[in-house]
Structure 1
Amino acid sequence: MSGAEADGILDRPHVHRVAGDEKGGFYRPRAGYGDSRGACGVVLEAYRWSELPSGAAARALSLVFLLPFMLCNSAIWMRPRAPRPGAAVWVLCRLLGLTLTALYTLSFVGVALDLLACKCMSSSSCLGGRSWMSWLGGQAIGLRLALLSLIPVAAIGILWRLGSQCGHWSENFSPPEGMAQRRSLSSIGRQEALPAVARLRLIHVAAALTVLDLSLLAARWAGHGPSAGNGVLAACGTGAIAGCVILLSLPNALDAPRPSRRVDVGVVALQATAYGLTVIVLALTLFDNGDWPAEAGLPGHASAVVLLFVTQGVLLALLAIAAFLGRRADPETRGALHGLGAPVFASFAVGLAVVFATELNFRVSDYLDRDGYTPEVLPTSPVLPYKWTMFGFFLSVIATALVGGALMMLSRRRRMESADELVSRDFPSKSPQTEGRRKHARRAIARALFTERLATLTVTAFCVAAVSLGVSGLGLAELQPSVAAEEMASIPRDFVNAGTQYGSYLMALVFIGLLIGGVFAYRTIAFRRYIGILWDLGMFWPRAAHPFTPPCYAERAVPELARRVTALVERGDRVLIGAHSHGSVLAAASLLQLEPHVLPKVALLTHSSPLRRLYAVLFPAHVGTDVLRELGSQIGWRWVNLWRVTDPIGGWIFSPDGRESAPTPLPAEATVDRRLTDPRSLVIEGEDTVSPPIQGHRPCVSDDRYQAAVCYLAHRLRTDQ
């Protein structure tokens, strides 16, 4: 478990570490301080790994800024099971990841070169009272551009630094041969992925530098007109971008631990081209003493932003088509979002990246204009595409809110009927004294059932995001959103101007909310219980779509847990793994990497597990029913899964208990799931003074039904030999 201290997991006040370190360690109760054993005499040991995905507050905050990359990286692992659509999703997610790197670079180009070097330093009203940059105001435009290009170069360097961080594998653990190419949970956390991440990082850094180079070349081209030298340099930059796209379109060659020499040569050539081109372009720009006009902004920057937005919209549409084809080819498709997680998460990644880029440019613009925001054009206003995204974001929020409200209202009756049926089944005896508690339980179950309705809401958000990116192409026509809306759709200008301004405020609220969530998700257990699982989900998957994703903690946690289980079994112990929430995914990945001689002495107890409800739906190729069945078969079906209908995250694995439709489980599968009545009772029990609370997604280690499951599996471990 990651969200609690070891003493809280073990329910023992005095513990000590027996293996690992402070980031990921194994703890046992200290002898001599009460009973150090659990139910049926089992030896207690907890694996606490909370410092691996969280760490210091600074790192938690960095996750917010890297969230678009993390969402895109999660999307690539949501590929469908069908081979061809799955391969298409893999490639398209990598190309979308490349556009996120380009947008990251263009956002800093917009701030440093468009707003500062061109617009602000060409305006006396902007430079007034700002001695820290007024000394550059009278210099040649080439010198200003070259010096301020160090800002996007430094931003790229920060990404390089973050991307170079990697996990730390357990040096003494090697999974059985033949698992590396399976691309299921058994492949998570394998050291063979490191070379592919290094190649991916070099490609993205080369692309980022080339985007900066092409931006400077476009400015020189507009300032001096066409020239042979600029043409050659532009051709080299365009060729470098094309090379990045080609390499990312060859996943089998790029992902191989030992690829062909051509792939390595191509990556090195891209790196050398990007470095050399950057040095040449910066030198030419630095010594350019021409006095070409810059008041209108960086030439070509608006066109580059629009082209990037349209490209992202097209890639999202292609990704949706590939995912839909893969969904149709999957005979086990269940649920509205099954197989469609990749385009949805990719759209969230692109949407957040656009929000960050827009907010960065507009906040800097407000500062340069001395916070004098107005919908009309100001001397240091960002390029029009960003204004279109502000209005598009405003409409997206309205559309999503309306659809979400409609879903809540339309589904409420059915959810309440299902909840009433479950409460009547669990508590058939009715009395006036329990009516209030009965209503409370019904509401909790109805809220938990809304998780399945979120699929429609997320698909709606995807459609709106894709359309918004396409509409941003109107920025090429030099049309203000208010003017275009009035001329094309007869929408009042005041409404559009207000929507644009509200869109800016909403973007700021999203950013602030993410910052708060990034801190409290790892500092408050109650907050982490629901929000932290999203961080756990994103950081669990290795970096395959974007190399600047936060390091994958599974690269250490999975082999470390597998190594510990192997060591205990080889010294003669039997191991029962109890895993709560996302810990069940970590446990499943570790068990799938154990040697055959270890598996007969291992059992699994999961509670509040999202394996089926979230992971099998979002990651069908990696956590599908076939993978879960393989896991159960390997451990001899010594597996118990405890779940509650009040839990909005966890759920059943094989047996839905009549509440949801699913294929009839096999006899062995039918022994896995055990539904816990929640709450335990509607009345005060025994010597207690309050009614049993509704537990929802909380751990159930203190529940006597959990202890009974421990005893059952411990008995199975002793007898199944």
Structure 2
Amino acid sequence: MTAQPSPDVVELRVHGASIGGIPDVLDLPPVDQVAGDRSGGFYRRRDRRGDRDADGRVTLEAYRWGDLPSGTVTRTLSLVFLLPFMLVNVAIWMRPANPGSAASVRSLCRLLALTLTALYVLAVAGVALDLVAWSCPTSPRCLAGRSWLSWLQGRPVGLRLGVLALIPAAATAGIWWASTRPGRVFEAFRPPEAEVSDSRLAAVGQWDAEPLVGRLRSLHVAVAFATLDVTLLAARLSAGLSTATVALLVVTGTLLTACAVLLCTPPLIDRAATDRRLDRLPRALRTTAVVLTVVVTGHVVASPSSWPEAGGLPGYDAILTGLFVTQTALLAGLGVELLRCRDRRPGGTPFLGLGTLATAAAAITVAGAFSSELVYRVADFLDRNLPTGEGIATGPSRAYTWTIFGFFRTLLITLVVAALVVLVSRRARYRAAAAIVGRDHPDAPPGAEPRLRQVRRAVARARFTEKLIPLGAVFAFLAGGATATTTLGMLDLMPGDVVEQFARVPAGVITFAIAAGSWVIAGIIVGLLLGGIFAHRTLEFRRHVGILWDLGTFWPRAAHPFAPPCYAERAVPELTRRVTYLVGAGNAVLLTGHSHGSVLAAATVLQLPPHVGRRVALLTHGSPLRRLYARLFPAYVDDEVLRDIGDRVGWRWVNLWRDTDPFGGAVFTGHPPAPVDTGRPELSVDRRLRDPVDVVAPPGDSVPPPIQGHRPCESDPRFVAAAEELIARLVGSQGTRPPAPPVS
């Protein structure tokens, strides 16, 4: 192959959550893939004649990573049910910047994650063991006409429990298998560690989370099987105390304790990826738990004692309520630790970092709601809507009733508070919006007033993002209280009785609220499933929903091994490799990123060796670096990290933002840019884009320019101008470039 001259500059575009396709990013179909695969690849225009410079000196290239966090519709729908695991995994990364909080917050979040796995098993066991194996055979109407359940009638209780214990065991094995699918199907690129930034965000390109995930996975699988063992043994105790039962309970309790201790021992869990010396210990606990489950199941099946078949599954209510009590205590401990390690610096934000508590509480609440809804819907199906006493004798656990009531109460109060915040902040937000619109369009004609109102409304709505932080704190407090009230189920109390006694509210109202809460949970689940479908089919829907999902899957699995895989583990090394290759081939690189693409681009810059960074410029737009990441992840994104990014590209960095964008914003300051030579080069980074560009229709058109909001702006002339300016600065800083090496 003859050598071809390499282009002078490659503009490498990294899309955000709103991608419609690579042709949209490059703004000119058709395209060819030049590296990577279908999940994450690099693309270029097939016909270079449309490139920006007529002499062909700028080549456009795009990196497509949209299928890494979600992928197919089927995978996205399956991830909906992993939402609690994803939330608790994100929580571990939202800790305060205080280094002293790292170990304690990690330990508490991992213990909370462990309780979610136990709750997952208890929910399935509540269906298979409590409702089907224990309660349904005592109700002839439950078995009537159901041949697939008729075999239960007349069978020994131990046999029923032993056979149906295969269902929670299979559920554990299924999620275990799903979490072991390869997280990396490519050769990761690792630049020399001495040349990588030492900031915490820089670790994103160095993550090899599979060893940690493997340890966590082994411990969670062990706890899942041990939870099933405790449920079976607690039921077995009702048939009489025996030495074998007590011995198996002691072994199971020891196993659970060992798993919890390991999770709280960072030297054993948070070891380097290359340190595999103690990996046998979690695997040994996992194997022990599997063998123990076989032994316990055989012990329950072979039990010669008679079983008391009245009421619900013995011990199940106590185990479930004890789990909720544990979650409450862990949430309280996490809140105390976060307040202890809050930002005490002058001018600091003391409550920055409490996102860990709010997100962990949301994970617990969502998991409890999902579990309760599963058990309640199966109970309704088995009952055939029969009157009380004619269907299943006991119904679901009282703890699930309290959970649904607590979720509905939390959601209702949070919505009321949110409505109040909207109303209270409305005047200030609209006043600020009016000032912005008045400054942008001072000479608007009288006929443009309807359009001006639309713009003011868009700006005011975008400014509501900052109000979500206090709402998260309210939700966390209410969710913790809701989890705590489940302990009342141990006292054989129902929500209606308690509220009627102390608040004088009729019990019927509370019963209606519980039923409504159940339907609300069902509606939320259906809404999430539909959201997973429309996120792939509707670009506008993905623009708003996808950014939240991408925010959650950006971080590696450090708390829960069953959470969705982290896409940044692949995307950042791929981008780093590609930029390094392009620079090594004699090119300068303009790296542009929209939305979450700007975060990937920033993390990539932190990976680049200095000799590569000197030939790179950065253009971000719709970037959530400051507005979301710095607020939600203060330990990983702060002023120091952002300045490090600017330094590594010689402050050839421009960030474009709009007031109508609810997610993106300024990185350093919202003021007009200052010259680079002022001594504060960060003041030259942010450039505000007026949106819309006008409120009246331009000549030759019948409608005014659209409000862009969070949409990408590659086709905006102001984006083109910023790109050309950065390219000029980039080329001007290089002087005479060496000739490109021959391509064989």
Give the TM-score taking structure 2 as reference length. 0.92
- Residue 541 (str. 1) matches residue 555 (str. 2): yes
User: Which residue does 1:662 correspond to in 2?
Assistant: none
Q: How does 1:426-575 map to 2 (within 5 A)?
A: 426-575=440-589
Distance in 1 separating the partners of 2:573 and 2:276: 30
Alpha carbons 2:96, 2:635 under 8 Å: kept: yes
Letter in 2 for 1:364: V
Shift of 1:176: 2.3
Distance in 1 separating the partners of 2:462 and 2:94: 23
Letter in 1 for 2:701: D
Q: Secondary structure at the match of 1:686?
A: coil
Letter in 1 for 2:260: V
Alignment partner of 1:591 out of 595, 599, 605: 605
Deviations 1:520-554 (A, max 9, x none): 22332110111101111111111000000111111
Alignment partner of 2:311 out of 296, 318, 322: 296
Letter in 1 for 2:22: A
User: Which residue does 1:246 correspond to in 2?
Assistant: 261
Residues 376 and 87 from structure 1, CA distance in 2 versus in 1: closer, same or farther, beyond 3 angstroms? farther
Distance in 2 separating the partners of 1:211 and 1:670: 56
User: Which residue does 1:204 correspond to in 2?
Assistant: 220
Shift of 1:430: 4.4
Shift of 1:501: 0.8
Q: How does 1:320-339 map to 2 (within 5 A)?
A: 320-329=335-344, 333-334=348-349, 338-339=352-353
Letter in 2 for 1:250: T
Deviations 1:449-494 (A, max 9, x none): 1111111211111111000000110000011211122223322111
- Residue 367 (str. 1) matches residue 381 (str. 2): yes
Distance in 1 separating the partners of 2:274 and 2:696: 65
Distance in 2 separating the partners of 1:141 and 1:430: 80
- Residue 168 (str. 1) matches residue 184 (str. 2): yes
Letter in 1 for 2:580: T
Letter in 2 for 1:275: V
Shift of 1:330: 5.2
Q: Secondary structure at the match of 2:500?
A: helix
User: Which residue does 2:47 correspond to in 1?
Assistant: 31
Range 459-468 or range 86-95, more displaced: 86-95
Alignment partner of 1:671 out of 676, 680, 684: 684
Distance in 2 separating the partners of 1:85 and 1:587: 28
Shift of 1:347: 1.0
Alpha carbons 1:141, 1:289 under 8 Å: kept: no
* Structure 2: gaps spanning 5 or more residues: 1-14, 735-744
Letter in 2 for 1:622: Y
The count of corresponding residues between Structure 1 and Structure 2 is 713
User: Which residue does 2:114 correspond to in 1?
Assistant: 98
Residues 357 and 330 from structure 1, CA distance in 2 versus in 1: closer, same or farther, beyond 3 angstroms? farther
Distance in 2 separating the partners of 1:260 and 1:227: 44
Alpha carbons 2:205, 2:607 under 8 Å: kept: no
Alpha carbons 1:482, 1:493 under 8 Å: kept: yes
Residues 170 and 717 from structure 1, CA distance in 2 versus in 1: closer, same or farther, beyond 3 angstroms? farther
Q: How does 1:9-24 map to 2 (within 5 A)?
A: 9-24=25-40
Distance in 1 separating the partners of 2:198 and 2:231: 42
- Residue 188 (str. 1) matches residue 204 (str. 2): yes
Residues 681 and 25 from structure 1, CA distance in 2 versus in 1: closer, same or farther, beyond 3 angstroms? same
**Cα RMSD (Å):** 2.2
Letter in 1 for 2:250: A
Residues 191 and 618 from structure 1, CA distance in 2 versus in 1: closer, same or farther, beyond 3 angstroms? closer
Alignment partner of 2:105 out of 81, 89, 92: 89
Alpha carbons 1:106, 1:212 under 8 Å: kept: yes
Shift of 1:178: 5.4
- Residue 315 (str. 1) matches residue 330 (str. 2): yes
Alignment partner of 2:77 out of 46, 53, 61: 61
User: Which residue does 1:708 correspond to in 2?
Assistant: 721
Alpha carbons 1:69, 1:548 under 8 Å: kept: yes
Letter in 2 for 1:460: V
Deviations 1:580-603 (A, max 9, x none): 101111111122112222111111
Alignment partner of 1:413 out of 401, 415, 427: 427
- Residue 684 (str. 1) matches residue 697 (str. 2): yes
Residues 178 and 65 from structure 1, CA distance in 2 versus in 1: closer, same or farther, beyond 3 angstroms? farther
Shift of 1:206: 0.3
Deviations 1:87-136 (A, max 9, x none): 22111111110010000010011011000000012221211111111112
Distance in 2 separating the partners of 1:59 and 1:331: 46
Alpha carbons 2:616, 2:730 under 8 Å: kept: yes
Deviations 1:246-296 (A, max 9, x none): 111112431112687884353233223212211110111122243312241
* Structure 1: gaps spanning 5 or more residues: 660-664
Q: Secondary structure at the match of 2:592?
A: strand
Letter in 2 for 1:652: A
Distance in 1 separating the partners of 2:709 and 2:196: 37
Residues 206 and 672 from structure 1, CA distance in 2 versus in 1: closer, same or farther, beyond 3 angstroms? same
Alpha carbons 2:430, 2:460 under 8 Å: kept: yes
Distance in 1 separating the partners of 2:569 and 2:335: 30
- Residue 693 (str. 1) matches residue 693 (str. 2): no
Q: Secondary structure at the match of 1:322?
A: helix
